[in-house]
Every structure is written in structure tokens, then in C-alpha cells.
Chain A
Amino acid sequence: MLLFLLVYLLASFAVFFLPSRLKKYKALLPALVQLTAFIYFLHFISPITRGISLTLKIEWIPRLGLNGEFMLDGLSMVFVLLITGIGTLVFIYARAYMKSYQGTDKFFFYLMLFSMAMLGLVLSANLIQLFIFWELTSFLSYFLISYHHEKESARKAAFQSLYITSFGGLAMLSGILLIGSVIDSYSFNDWMTHSEMLRESPFYFPGLLLILLGVFTKSAQFPFHFWLPGAMQAPAPVSAYLHSATMVKAGVFLLARLSPVLGGTTEWVYVISLIGVLTMLTGSYFAITQTDLKGILAYTTINALGVLVLLLGINTKESIKAAMLFLFIHAFYKATLFMLAGLIEKKTGTREISRLGGLIKYMPLTFIFALLALLSMAGLPPLLGFLGKELIYEAKVQSPGIASLVLVLGVISNIFMVAVSLFFARKVFLGRPAHYAKVPDEKGIAYLIGPGILVLLSLILGLFPGQLGTAVIKPALIAVFEGDADVELKLWHGFNQVFFLSLLTIMLGLGLFWAMIKRRTFTETWRKINGIVFSVQLEQVFAWVMNKFVEISLMKTRIVQHGYHRYYLMTIFVFTSLLLWSQVLFTASPAPGLSFSFSPFYISGLALVIMLTTFLSVMSRSRVVTIIAMGVAGYGISFIFLYYSAIDLAITQILVETLTVIMFMAILQRLPHFAVLSSRKNRFRDFLIALSFGSVMTVLALKAIQVNLNKPISEFFLENSYPRAFGENVVNVILVDFRALDTLGEITVLTIAALGVFVLLSTKKRKL
């Protein structure tokens, strides 16, 4: 498993290093890797159907619960097969689609890396690790969506999706940390064994909500769904991949993964079902009024995601079975349709539905594939989609508590889907041929390989679903829902309640379709009503929030970062001294038994000199006097160091003092004339601040002698300096051996400071 992640990583970088002779095959290299991965993972199917899951653990920081943990079970298998299988087809398609673009190296690099992240995500058995892959997919999808970065709309859409998904990602991380803190582990297996404890802990509900926020943003659930239609700015292969098998399915995966741990509670069922239902309705409702091919598809994706989330929310055996099947159905038809929409756009130059029509004459194969995919989307027999819809209805019929409501809304949304599917086929392929700039064709076999295979699969699996049920769906179901389950998929279920619901759906869908076609004004009025009812678009709300956020940060920056060095210093000194004073007063210890003595006289004399020169440096009106006085004070202090036999310290002090004086001298002649600019009041205020800071430091120094929390470490250094580090100068041994890391840090900071000074002073002042 891990090997394959590495292979993916290498393959993504290899795109750049292909010799120019092989450059034209650069899409095939990732496709080949994907195909190999697909076959490789396929051969694990037989152990997995027997209920064996493969795990791999690499310890990294075990004490923090941060380990590399991978797991391949039935659930991961479903997603792995989708990612690698559809990935193969998408890369083959992209080879044809991306031919006319610049910078495709980068494109294939990002897309392959994205596949790796996605694969890593579904194989993760450690929640922190999962989060890392999760963020990687958000991050990489940003690059993929903004591929046409010269267009402002693409950049905007990419930012939107990045903001929303990474906002959710961070919420999810805090949720994971919150819940994980209960048992102090982030390993999925630990969560499994302690699921009772997790569900009963007070952190359960807030943690769950935070994790769900991540799921909902990633899987484009209401009210975060609006980033997904924006993401159609990406090239068609990316849309096909993101919408069908990856990215948005990550949220679904996490829900399914966590449902045995956190699922089944009333909170789980109601929150998730509610959001799922809302998303389902939003998606199907707005799909009807779209005029852009990819727009229609994007909203149907939202609908499908709503259905999936709803099914996982209901959390019964039937619903999860339906969800797993629907995952395949949706991936198959959505990838097909996006690829075909890309092809149509390529050949006709437009995606606007009103400017398309009669394409059946020019693109017969495309029509057949699209029709089959659309029928699957509408849920008509004999395609896999029909099976899925039946199962979904069944799950909804049997869902506890909220059955009737969910069922009615589900039927309504499916009516919309039937109408949209038929509308799509009718408008694009049938009717009078529209006027095209050049005659469209469907040359380029690579365009049709992917859709062809997927549609064929949809059809065959629709007719003979048995294998899919036992080999793939059943293990996934067992992984989510412990215990045995029988999954017997059949096309024909007999005349039962569910069948009549299907019939009703199709009839009403046809009616709606008829109304849309026959009455031209019907959709127009619909759109108008939408314009009034939904005048506040979530996209605009998002933009408003972002704008306000930037405004507030600007305001804050203007207040806090005012640019006056003296006020920065003042703030630092005032706050530090206040903090220190409060600390000194709160931890009042018995009065330190200090004893002052003036002997030896030369040291007390030295102290007097230091004090006097300090005073002089403050009071003097000549800079030279100030500098010299400060130098004298510094040298005086170094003598005190010397007296107490801190020779290294003394030498350093002398050298630094010398350097300071030199530096002052260097700039002295360039400074403006000395002037007293601050008022008497200001100077008094500064005097108070200085006094407070100085005195608190003195008090602290005096206290430091008294306080002895632990055995001082100096003894260790003294004892070990020679035997362990072969040095007699303890100060130096500490610097270069015991505390070498600190020294490294200090030296680095020093270098950065020097570079800063260098750059600041060597930049020529620009005229303002």
C-alpha cells in the first residue's frame, strides 16, 4: 500500500523529467501507474471478501499518537477502486483533452499528486494522518481549479473552494483532537474499540459537529455547496475526477469510516439527515435552471452528495448498502457526463445549452454514451442507476422515525433528476441543429474510451449486479456495519411499494420534462421566481464575509501596527512590567534575607561609578557624552563579572561594549542635531515606565537568588563537562556541546538580524 503511494509520488514528479522524445506520452505514464494500482488492489478483493483487512503501522512519534497507519478494508476498497479505476480513464481522456493547452506538465503533476493524496486519505487508519491527506487534497484541488489562472473567475473559484474546504478542514482537525483527547489516541482502531466511551463523553457532540463541518464543506453540503459549481472552472478531466471519484467523496468516505465509531446516536441521525436532505433538494432544484452544461452536472453532483450523506445519516443496514451502491453509480455516470461535456465544449466551442442542439447528427457515439449515462442518472431501468434508486427508496421507506418526510422529499428530488436528465439529452443532442462555427465531430478515440467503458459497466452491472454486490458492496458494508450482511442485488424486485414509487417518480419526471420542453416560458418564469426568492446568493454572502474579514484585519493592523517604534517599545515595557509586577506580588515569598555590604570598597566604588555614568548618559545633552558614559557603565559591569570570576562573560561584555561604541561613533556624525522634542509630561511618563521596568527587574533578580525550584542543572554541567565533553571551560562546553541546539538558534537569529540590517540599509531610499 505504502509502496504505491510512493510510486504515485514518483510518477507525479517523473512527468517533469521525461526525455523530450517521450514527452507526448506523458499522460500515459500516470495512466499506466493508475492502472497498475487498480489491478494490484483488485487482487486483494478475495481476502477482503473473506473479511480480512490489511493493516500497516509505522511508528513515528508514538508518545503523541502520531503514527503512520494504513488500512485496506472493504470500505477503503470501494474508494480505492474508484480512485484508481476512474483515475486511469481520466488520464487517458486528459491526454486528448489537454493537448492544446500550455504547461500540461504542471497539470499532470498536480493531478497525479492529487490522486496520491486521495489514495492516502482513503487508506488512512490514523485520524491525524487522514487530516494531512485531507488538507493535501484541498490544497492540490486549488491548483487544479485555478489551472486557467489567467482568468479571474478561475482564480476566484479556486480561492473560494480553498477557503471553504480548508476552513472545514481546520474545524475537522479540532474535532478530531477533541474526541481523540478522550481516549488519548488518534488511531482508528482505538476509536473503534472505545466507541462506547467516545459516544458518551461530553466532547462527543461538539467534536462531532466540528468533524461534520469538515465533511460538509468538503462534500459540498448545504450551505457550503456553492464552491462546487464554481469549481467547474477547472478543465474537464479535473471536473470529471473531482466530482465522481475524489475530492467531494472524501467527506462521504469519512462519514462512512466514522459511522461505526460515532454513528447511530440521535444527534448523528438528525444533523446529518437534515443537511443531506437540504443538499439533495438544493442540488436537484437548481440543476433545472442551469444553462451551462457543466453547471447542470455540478448541481446534480450536489444532489448526489446530498443523497449519499442522507443515506449515511439514516445509518441503517439498508441505507448504507444503498449508499455504497450509489457511490459507484454516481461515479460512473458523473465521470462519463463530465468527460462528454468536455468533449462537446471542445468540438463546438460552447457549453451554453441554448446554443447547442442536434448533436446526434455529428456525434452519434457521444449521444449513445451520454444517453445511457443520463438514464442511469435518472434512475431508469435497466441501468445501474435504477437499482440504486430502488435501494435508496427501500432504505428511506425503512428509515426509522423520519421515514415519511425523507421519502416524500426524496421522491421530489428524483422527479427533478428525471426531468433534468431528459432535458439534457433533448436539448443537446436532439432538436434542430444549432449553428456551429465549424462542423463538430468526435475524432479522437481517447475522448471516448473512458465514457465508453464506464457506460458499459453501468449497463452490464445493471443487468447482472450479483458480482458487484458480493465482491465489493458486501465487504464495505461489513466494514461500516459490523456483523454479517447479505447483499443480493437484483434488477427486478417485483411489484412492491418501492416499485410504485419508482413508477410515480418517472411519470412525474416525464410530466415536468414535458412542461419544460413544450412551454418555453415555463423555465423562464421559474428562473425569474428563483431570482426573486433566492435573491441572496450564498456566494455573495461568502464574498461579503471575506471582504469584512479583510476590512477588519486591516483596521486591526492599523491600530496594532502603527509603525511608531517608540510606541512599540512603550507597549512592550508597560505590559512586561505589569505582568512581572503582578507575578512578583502574587507569589510573595518571605522577605529575602539580603545583606548589603560595601566591601570590598573597589566593587562598591565601581557600582557607584556605573550608577553615576548611567545617570549622566540619560541627562546629558551631548550624544558623545551619552555614548561614552554608556561605554563606561558597560565596562564597569564587565569588571564586576571579572571580580566574580566569570571571565568568559567579562571578555564578551568588553568586546560587545567596544563594538557598540564603534557603531555609535560610525553613525554619530550623520545624525541630526540633538533636540529635545518631547514635552515635559511625556518625559515624566517615560520616566515612570522606565522606573517601573527597572525596579521590577531588580526585584526579580533579587528573588531569583532566593527561589530554588529544582536542583540546579549547573551541578550536572560542572560534573560532566570534562568526563563527557572533554572540556574544562564549562561555559564553552555548554555553548558548543550540551546546548548546541540553542547556540545554533541564536547564531541563526543573529544572522537573520544582520541580514535585515544589511538589506534595510543598502536599499536606496525612494523618493516619496
Chain B
Amino acid sequence: MNSVILQLAAKYLKWLLITFAILALLRGHNQPGGGFIGGLMAGLAMIFEGFASNTEQMKEILRDKPLRLTGAGLLIIFLSFIPSLVTGNIPMTGIWMKIPIPVGGEIKLGTPLLFDAGVFLTVTGVTLLFVLSLTRKNAWR
């Protein structure tokens, strides 16, 4: 596929989609969404950009991102267990803290969000890894 319009559009649409994915991640705790869904979206966004350009370019764009994303995701998941261990709770207990906003109200931040972010990154990475492995040229030689 070699469409300049699509290529250019994909470049920006990708960020829109990723923003959307992050939104899905953040709202996940109270409304439909979450790390898994967000991660799939983000992965698809990047694949979209890759498909719009050709495979060689796609490889250049993504290179070893998928492996790093996956690793980082798993690492964040493990990091999210540390607060519960430090505070002497049962491992993986959700630890929350409230940060008041000057404008009014407050934001609740907790380890489940961190956990979900880890899931997000891992799923993104894994999705990319699958598709990228399948589309590699030398894989089919």
C-alpha cells in the first residue's frame, strides 16, 4: 500500500488514537475501558500507521519497541506490588492516596492504576509483537 494521504493522515491519527487509548485506560476504573482495552487500542493505532506505510518503513518505525514495551509493562506491574509490601499489607492489596486539586475536588491515585498501566503497556507490546512477527519479510522465506 502506498498512499501518501493515508500515510500522512496515519501519522497524526495514530496520536489521536493513542490519546484515546490512554483515556480508556484512565477512565477504566469507573467506566468501560481499562488497561487491556486501552492496550489493544494503542497497539492497533501503531499497526495502523505501519500498514499505511510499507513494511520496511514500519520496521524502521517500530524496530524493537514491542519487546521494550512488553518488558516495561511487566516491570511496572511488579513495581505496583511494592507499596503493598512496604506497608505490610497482603501482597497486591490496592494502596490508595488522595491528592486534592487546588481547583476543587480531589484525584484518587492507587496502585491498581499503576497495575493497569502495566497491563496497558504489556498488551500494546504483545499486540505489536504478534503482528510485526507475522509481517516480517524474512519470516516467510
User: What residues of chain A have their CB less than 8 Å away from a CB belonging to chain B?
Assistant: 647-648, 651-652, 655-656, 658-659, 662-663, 666-667, 670, 725-729, 731-733, 735-737, 740-741, 743-744, 747-748, 750-751, 753-755, 757-758, 760-762, 764-765
Contact = CB atoms under 8 A, between A and B. Distances in A.
Interface string B21-46: 00000001111111111001101100
Given A732-B29, A740-B112, A750 B141 contact: no
Contacts of A733: 29, 112
Nearest to B71: A751
B130 A757 contact: yes
21 contacts: A652-B40, A655-B44, A662-B44, A662-B47, A662-B131, A666-B131, A667-B134, A667-B140, A726-B108, A727-B29, A727-B30, A729-B29, A735-B34, A736-B29, A736-B112, A740-B92, A743-B115, A743-B119, A754-B66, A754-B126, A762-B136
Given A725-B112, A751-B122, A758 B34 contact: no
B139 A666 contact: no
B140 A670 contact: yes
Contacts of A656: 40
Interface in B66-112: 66-67, 70, 73-74, 77, 92, 94, 96, 108, 110, 112
A764 B141 contact: yes
Given A736-B115, A764-B138, A750 B37 contact: no
B127 interface: yes
A760 B76 CA distance: 27
A729 B130 contact: no
A-B complex: 7 closest residue pairs judged by Cβ atoms: A761-B139, A655-B40, A728-B30, A754-B129, A727-B29, A647-B32, A754-B126
Nearest to A728: B30
A199 to B, nearest CB: 42
Interface string B115-133: 1101100110111011111
B32 A651 contact: yes
Given A648-B33, A747-B74, A761-B139, A659 B131 contact: yes
Interface residues of B, number: 50
A755 B140 CA distance: 17
B19 interface: no
Contacts of A647: 32
B54 interface: no
B57 interface: no
B81 to A, nearest CB: 8
Contacts of A761: 133-134, 136, 139
Nearest to A765: B141
Given A652-B40, A758-B133, A729 B28 contact: yes
A658 B112 contact: no
Nearest to A740: B92
A748 B41 CA distance: 19
Contacts of A648: 32-34, 37
Given A659-B127, A659-B130, A667-B134, 16 more contacts: A647-B32, A648-B34, A651-B33, A652-B40, A655-B41, A663-B131, A726-B94, A726-B96, A728-B31, A729-B34, A735-B116, A736-B29, A736-B35, A740-B92, A740-B115, A754-B129
Nearest to A649: B32
B24 to A, nearest CB: 8
A725 B93 CA distance: 9
A109 to B, nearest CB: 30
Nearest to A725: B94
Contacts of B127: 659
Contact of A747 (B41, B43, B73, B113): B73
B119 A751 contact: no
A733 B66 CA distance: 27
B139 A762 contact: yes
Contacts of A736: 29, 34-35, 94, 112-113, 115-116, 119
A744 B77 contact: yes
Nearest to A648: B32
Contact of B130 (A663, A737, A747, A762): A663
B92 A741 contact: yes
Contacts of A750: 122-123, 126
Contact of A729 (B30, B70, B122): B30
Nearest to A738: B94
A332 B28 CA distance: 73
Nearest to A739: B92
Contacts of B129: 754-755, 757-758
A561 to B, nearest CB: 24
B40 A659 contact: yes
A617 B32 CA distance: 31
Interface centre among B41, B74, B134, B136 (most CB of A within 10 A): B134
Contacts of A729: 28-34
Contacts of B73: 747
A743 B122 CA distance: 12
Nearest to B132: A758
A659 B132 CA distance: 12
B90 to A, nearest CB: 11
Contacts of A744: 77
Contacts of A762: 133, 136, 138-139
Contacts of B119: 735-736, 743, 747
A732 B35 CA distance: 9
Contacts of B37: 648, 651-652, 655
A758 B135 CA distance: 11
A725 B96 CA distance: 9
Nearest to B114: A736
B134 to A, nearest CB: 5
Contact of A737 (B112, B122, B139): B112
B116 A732 contact: yes
Interface centre among A652, A732, A762 (most CB of B within 10 A): A732
Contacts of A667: 134-135, 140
Contact of B44 (A658, A732, A751): A658
Contacts of B133: 754, 757-758, 760-762
Given A648-B34, A667-B134, A751 B74 contact: yes
A72 B37 CA distance: 59
A514 B138 CA distance: 80
A751 B122 CA distance: 7
Contacts of A735: 34-36, 116, 119
A726 B140 contact: no
Contacts of A751: 70, 74, 122, 125-126
Contact of B74 (A741, A748, A753): A748
Nearest to A655: B40
A735 B127 CA distance: 19
B138 to A, nearest CB: 6
Contacts of A662: 44, 47, 51, 131
Nearest to A733: B29
Nearest to B31: A729
Contact of A754 (B33, B40, B130): B130
A753 B126 CA distance: 9
Contacts of B44: 655, 658-659, 662
A573 to B, nearest CB: 24
Interface centre among B32, B51, B141 (most CB of A within 10 A): B32
Contacts of A754: 66, 70, 125-126, 129-130, 133
Contacts of A658: 44
A659 B66 CA distance: 16
Contacts of B138: 762, 764
